[in-house]
Chains A and B, each alone.
Chain A
Amino acid sequence: MITVITSTADNISAPFDKRFGRAEWFCFYDSEKDMVSFQKNEFSNVSNGAGVRVAELMVEKGVKKIISGDFGPKAKEILKKFSIQMVVADKKRVEEIIELIK
């Protein structure tokens, strides 16, 4: 199962990013393969609709669960529609979250 954790940089010791649509990076954690990969968020600086476009990306990537600090209403609507679980966390670093869901 693929879980996405919003991250401020491209490594697991990076601070957790509490924004969803405007997160700097996404950490994709594949629990079956126990593998981690990172993708830069190309929508982090768009003037509007960041959450919507990132939600679209998550559906396309087949993500099942997203861990972030908060989710905007427009993004929420799409994620809910495609049954992607939204988890609100308050941790300092990405690796702490990975340890918790392993």
Chain B
Amino acid sequence: MSYKIAVVSGKGGTGKTAFSISLFNFLRSNLERSKVTIVDCDVEEPNISLFLKDKTKFYHKLITQDVAVIDEERCKFCKKCSDYCAFNAIVVIPRARYAKVDSSLCHSCGACYLACNYDAIGTKQYVAGEVDGYKISSNSYMYEGRLKVGSPMQTFLIGELKKELPQDDTITIYDSPPGTSCSVVETLSGSDFVIIVAEPTAFGIHDMLLVRELADNLDKPCGIVLNKVEDVERAVEYIPSQHRNDFLGALPYSVEFAWNYACGELSYSNEERLKESYFKIFSKLFINEGADCFKR
């Protein structure tokens, strides 16, 4: 069976990626007969590949979008397309008989195509980003989307990235971008379970509640992990009482871990208390929270 877990945060920098990779490493070493795939959906700044040193690239694809182009021979320079364009991608200057679409601003929405009465709008392929696939070990894989710098098409690219994933028996971890916007919604869609990695600060809890509400609206079951906690035993107190059932566990604050992370190393295995906390969370996730993949 396949099972998809999305790791989100709301606030940035709470430890989504560190958690995702730790979960990935845990699963691939403990479930040797299952295939495990980690997917870097943070296409504006993918970084999982930095932490997986032994990898072999086996897949590469350029992802293109159909951007609008205006045929200046047919164009009557009426500006209707430009009025329809919500992204200010179209410049029409009637007296210069100039009409052009800026490809880097075009979202491929098709509004200009509908607007034009003179059949002057066509399309061309324009690169939005790329998808790469890596083999990490005999049972584990990593995929990442990489948005072209300056492209506004992150949501589109995440959708395309998901289409490139093999549709077979695998446990998939989606490492989400921060926030609660379209790109996060796209990452959550199709997932079976959502893990929110939050910080025990006013800002962290506020954003955790936003993303919790988003998961609710999408009918996704949720688990909450608190990261960088001073007192792990009392961590649950940071979570509003109505959401405490979702609490999976807490990870202790560690300067050493952060230091090593900045050097591209996930060092929890050196620290007993971190390792222990991670193990508790993973156990709870798979035994208690109805995450069916462990009940096989």
Contacts and interface: CB of A to CB of B under 8 A. Distances in A.
A53 B102 CA distance: 11
Given A59-B96, A82-B96, A48 B105 contact: yes
A50 B88 contact: yes
A16 to B, nearest CB: 25
The SS class assigned to the A binding surface is: helix
Given A48-B152, A74-B105, A53 B88 contact: yes
Contact of A74 (B92, B95, B98, B104): B104
Interface string A39-68: 000010011111011011001100000000
Interface string A66-84: 0000000010001001100
Nearest to B106: A49
A52 B91 contact: yes
B89 interface: yes
B87 A49 contact: yes
A56 B87 contact: no
A56 B89 contact: no
Interface of B: 87-89, 91-93, 95-96, 98, 102, 104-105, 152
Given A52-B88, A52-B91, A59-B93, 14 more contacts: A46-B88, A48-B88, A49-B89, A50-B88, A52-B89, A52-B102, A52-B105, A53-B88, A55-B91, A56-B92, A56-B93, A60-B95, A74-B105, A82-B96
A49 B102 contact: yes
Contacts of A48: 87-88, 105, 152
B181 to A, nearest CB: 12
A55 B92 CA distance: 11
A70 to B, nearest CB: 17
Contacts of B104: 74
Nearest to A43: B88
Nearest to B89: A49
Contacts of A82: 93, 96, 98
